[in-house]
Each structure stands twice: as structure tokens, then as C-alpha cells.
Structure 1
């Protein structure tokens, strides 16, 4: 009888145990952009990498409103670690100043977990145009632009896009005027540059690299403060010195949870993803995208996001770009 009572007690205890003790609740990782892009690719690689430490991580693509739709879903989720989002420079630094109506506060409604990766942007010219104008460097470009105000133009993926704002930052710091020509997306902007419809673009390095290698585009400089390990021979705009010495603008993305995410949950997520980012296979995957891992503590990422948010407030307002 005693043995029977022990078995019954064990059965009762098992049935009474919380469901998540037997089957942990999957983590929902929202990617606020369509499948197949850099954020989606990296999110899926990380989800596979952290499954041993965090359990199942399900990647969900929720595109719309420039990333705002997916980010808002995470902002309004329960702060229990079951929903996180792969936010980016657009969702947390540009959009808050670009959109007249935002469904969330980019700083107050999220808990930063860790930076994931950054991808440099690159100043590229149509080679025929560069040769015709005698432009071989950033210094040459600035000199020509100062002598010929308004004669140069640059394309971008649209008003308020990363390429547009990089161009506005360049104009402001270099003290030059170039005409901005917005297109309906980064691909049409690149096609316009390749065909000579525009003189230069501030493009994503990963998107421009194939045409640079093929000689169809001429890369003058990276827009980041430091050179990239992917193209160590390519200088930065900042290296041209003078007013451009502090030039630094790039594409980045990282992980966020809802506001008021408990500290222990934040630390557990941070540890798992930072360790994943340090793994050789994840580094290799990022390298194929010409991206560099960020990692770091939640506090460091929070400070970085706050600084980026403030930087883009000035840039967006100076550009006059708005999305209703």
C-alpha cells in the first residue's frame, strides 16, 4: 500500500506541476520586415543557435509601416520574455521622427537586450560620372560640389531612408549642396545610379558590393567611423578630415523586449544571444552579409540606442522628411 501511495503522489505532483516546467513556452522573435532580408536571415540563424539555452525560438515576420507594425506588437506584448523583436535603426531611431503618428515610444516602450550587428553604408558613384568630373576621392567630391553647387545629385530609397539621411548629413558637414532624388525603394535607386540617372548614392555595403566588385560602381568611402574588416582597403568618409572628421552613420539592428522586462529575464536573453554572436559559424554567417557583430550588455545597447535616437532627430528634422 505504501508503494502504491508513493506512485499516486508522484502522479498527482506531475499533473499539478506548471505546464511550462514540462514544455517551456516558445519564444516569439518578431522580425518587422519581410522574409529573406538581412534581419530575417540573422534572426533565423540566432534562433537555431540559442535553442539549447533558451528552448524553441519561433521567428515571425510582421512587416508593415516601415517596421513599426512588428515593433509595436512586441511593445504591447506581456513583459515575460516570451516575445522579443529584432529592432533596427529605422524602428528605433529614424521612424520616431519620420512618421507623424507612431504607435509606440521607441525608448520608453522597450527593454534593450543586446545589439546584434551593424552594416556599413558606402558612398558610391557612377564610374563614368566620376571620371568625367575627375572625382577619385571624397576630397575631390567635396571640392567639385563646392565649386558647382546644385550640379550634383544623389539618389535614395525614399524620403527619410538611411541613404537620404546619410546624404543630408554629408551635405551639412561638408558644407555643400546636392539635389536629392528619392526613389520608391533601394533597388530602383541603385538602378538609377547604374544607368547614370543620378551621380552618387549612399548605399548599403552589402547591397552595393557585387556591383563594386564588378566595376559597375565606384566606392569612394564607407560612412562608418572605422573601416570594415570586409573591405579593409576602403577608407571612411571621416578619414578625409576637416568638417567630415566625425562622420559616422550606418545600418544596425538588435534585440528588444517589451518595457519592464524583469532584469533576470533580460540578463538570461542577453547571455544566450551574446554567446551566440561570438560563435564562429554565426560570425561567418554575418560576414557573408558584410555585417559585423555588436553584442554587449543591455546597458551599453540602451545607451547606444538613446544616442542614435537623438542623432536622427536632428537629421530627420533638418531633412524635412515626413511620412503621414
Structure 2
């Protein structure tokens, strides 16, 4: 079988497996003061420092979580609820992951916040539209770095610059960007940044939140772990795997990006002669390739590819089990666009090969009769 759904999750890297295997005998609770606990606590501190170094920041800004969804919820709910006396207006975009959109919707429905949802213009989210939506009572702006369905790069740097003169906090869902592009939150004016290990060859169920200041309400209550900001015993084994995977990815950013571009170019070249279109903006990462085939139903195509041994998707893995219309493509092309039922997402990683792409293209052409 050939795996081409890396935007949903990635295989564990050899570095992550090695780090986790070596740590299997470290079972102490990092909060315990005895020797076993101190051993675990030392490894936890080292992991936090290593991730902080990769982000060009300090350890005190890194909060370990269970993944991107918890990080997003912690930043958005935690900050908005703590500072709602300053304003109850939130800005986000129509192409965000559901972990952001539904969190904002929760605040609107349950706590009376107001949300402005920025729509794409000519296939892109524009910083000028964020700027025009800002109000004196805007408390938070939440924008993803890279879209998980199309690979589009959002104007994070420009948004960070325009928010320098506004008191609103800036949250970036960087789940699809961390480990693929350099992101340094202090330099970009980012107050909160969410990441998830399983998107860069780390284990599932672990991630982190960068916070310029730990100025938010707790999302989880209980013990005093994570300097009293996130209750619950830290998942040390997974944290060490995440750190190893991120360190390896950070060391090979440029070559991995070049490899992804090579795979994308090869795929599009291989498919020459087929009737297809690409759902993307002029600014996108090559790791995600969203293709549409006129008059070809994507649910049937996915089934045929699966039977041939290929794992691809129609979009976000969080709608797995059913093929639902993509809210991202709806925002980009409209509710009635034929693209909603014709498009599939191929997403690669550094572990994929040219040979796999060639075989996939050959099989796809056979299925479509090209």
C-alpha cells in the first residue's frame, strides 16, 4: 500500500521511534520529587528547551498539550474568556480547521462573543480584509499558517505586522506548517501558536502551544503541571518522540521542501493528458495537492484508489467516515461548485518517493481511462 494522506497524519520517523524506544524504561512522574521523578523531569525540561530553541524562543513559552485541537481551544477560549472585559469581538477566516471554527462558534453561542469570518477573495485570504475588520473591541485574531486542504500559505507575517498597533492577540494554527517551513513566533508578532506532533512524523496525542505570555484561563483543571497552566501528568514518552521528530524536520526543512516540490511537479507532469484542475492559490506549499477531475465523483474515486492500495482523501481527516463537502472549497468556489464533489487531496512527505508518485499516476490514469 502507498500512503499519500500525510496532511491527515504522518508515519512515525525513525528518530521519533528511537527516542520513544529509549525512553520506555523512564516511567517516573515528572512531578514527583524522588529520583525516578527527577529523571523524568530532566527529560521533560530538555524537550521543552529543544522545541523552544527550534522556535527561537525560551522554554517558558512552551506548553505541552494533547495536540492541535487542545492547543487551539486553550489559546482561543482561554484568552477570550480571561479578557472578555476588554472586548468580545473575534476575527477568523472561513477556511480554518474545525478546531478553530467550532471553538469560536462556541464562544459566540455560549458567551455572547461576536465573530467576523473573513472570506477568501480570488482564492486567497488577504491581510487587508483582516485590517478592515479590526474594531476597538477586537480581542483576538485567529488565522492558520497553512491550509490543510489546499496547502495555501496565509499572510501571517503581514497580519502580525498590522496587529502591532492593535491590542488584539494573534493566534496562529500552525499544525500544517510546523516542521515544514521556518516559523519564529516572536519575529512574526504571534502571541499563540498551535502545533501537533503527528503532522511532522511524531506520535499522535501530543502537541504544544507557544504562548508569548501565559495569560489565559486554564482549559484543563486539576494538578499543577505545566507551571499550573495545564493540568494532567505530561505524556513524556510522546513528548520525547515529538521533540525528536521536530528536531529532525527542522534540520532538513529546505531539502524536504525541495523534495515535496519535486513530487508535486512529477505528479502534475505524469497526469498530463488527463482532464483535471488544481485547487490552490499562487502561494502554497507543495506538500498538499488538491486535484479535481470533471465529471468524476470523488467518493467513488477514493474507493477505487483504496482498492488499488492508495490512501488519499477529500480533505480534512476530521470528517472521516463520510465524504462531506469541503467547507474550504465551499468558501473558495461557492456552495454550488462542481469542485466540491470532484476534488481529492494528495498529500506527501519526505518519506514518499518518485516511484510511488509514478505508480499512483499510472493507476489513476487507468481508473479514469486516460
TM class by smaller structure: under 0.3
Q: Which one has a bigger Cα radius of gyration?
A: 1
TM-score of the superposed pair, with normalisation by structure 2 = 0.25
TM-score of the superposed pair, with normalisation by structure 1 = 0.28
